[in-house]
Structure 1
Amino acid sequence: MKRVLILFASMSGNTEDMADLIEQGMSDQNVEIVKKQIEIDEIAVEELKDFHGILFGSYTWGDGDLPDELEDFYDELDVLNFTGIRAATFGSCDSMYPKYGAAVDILSDKLHELGAEIILGGLKVELTPEDEEVERCKQFGKTFAELLCKESVQS
């Protein structure tokens, strides 16, 4: 069984809501899901190597920055090689800022730079997921799990 880590930073609860919905979308798939919130749950960057798939979520702070609670963890990622790990990113966004959901893109670029196979484009939701965005989050989780369980196209 493939192991998936849903790792996220959330200040207002919007990204946490997305993580919960993504988890729901994966619940009937053949994957083991571990969900952790940075700054609340204990997690060392080395633990990420224990997973076949990583879904990394964050809200965007200010004009396009990672949130403060994620900065140290982000920097510590540089010691890892994610070759063989499949990943995707997600996050709540606010269109009042000039760089919409930049943290989602920053995380995706970092994972790719470290060798992860990005199997889905980043999921961005305006603030709190509602209506069709709820279904988009669930479908994102389901699709990620399905792609994770398929043989790599690069094999």
Structure 2
Amino acid sequence: MKARIVYASMTGNDADMAEILEEDLQDYGFEVETSEASFTDASDYLENDLCIFITYTYGEGKMTDDVADFYDQLKDLDLSGKYFAVMGSGDKMYADHFCENVFDFEKMFKEIGAKEITKAVTIENAPGDAAIAKIDNAAEEMSEKLNG
């Protein structure tokens, strides 16, 4: 199984999440390629079975340019027959907008035909032990569903 992890990270939190998930999926036998959103074309997802996007939500939910550009590319794709997962970090100080961009991407993946493989993983700020456990559990669920 081929998985593509694309992430956007301002503080390094989401890059850390991507690295944790990449290692987990490799341990489960996935062939994984990971890249930053600003250096990736959304069409790269077309060559993979599992499409993962990890993003932060800045302030009150407005997408930053790198995230918005990738989102715009994504909406032009047809990912029917593909699986997806979304993850990301946010700050609960912005209660109504906590991890809002994660859910924006979740909705978009569904609109373009991809099937959600695991519930969205959201964490506050940097991934501590509890967040790492959430990422590990999501990776295990992805493996069980795709690798039997």
Is the TM-score greater than 0.5? yes
Identity percentage over the alignment? 28
User: How far does residue 134 in structure 1 lie from its aligned partner after superposition?
Assistant: 1.5
Say whether the 8 Å CA contact 2:6–2:36 is kept in structure 1. yes
Q: Deviations over 1:5-56 (max 9, x none)?
A: 01110000001111111122212212100111112x3x22222100000111
What is residue 6 of structure 2 aligned with on the other side?
Answer: 7
Letter in 2 for 1:115: G
Q: Summarize deviations over 1:91-135 as a string: whole Å, max 9, x none.
A: 011001131110110000000000000111110011001122222
Using the size of structure 1 for normalisation, the TM-score is 0.89
CA distance in 2, matches of 1:148, 1:105: 23
Cα-to-partner distance string for 1:132-155 (whole Å, 9 max, x where unaligned): 2222212222222322334xxxxx
How high is the TM-score relative to the length of structure 2? 0.93
Gaps of 5+ in 2: none
Corresponding residue for 2:116?
Answer: 118
The answer to whether the aligner puts 1:135 opposite 2:104 as a matched pair is no
Gaps of 5+ in 1: 151-155
CA RMSD, 1 decimal: 1.3
CA distance in 2, matches of 1:118, 1:20: 21
Match of 1:91 in 2: 88
Q: 2:49 aligns with which of 47, 52, 57?
A: 52
1:153 maps to none
**Which structure has greater helix proportion?**
2
Paired with 1:74 and 1:100, the residues of 2 have a C-alpha distance of 18
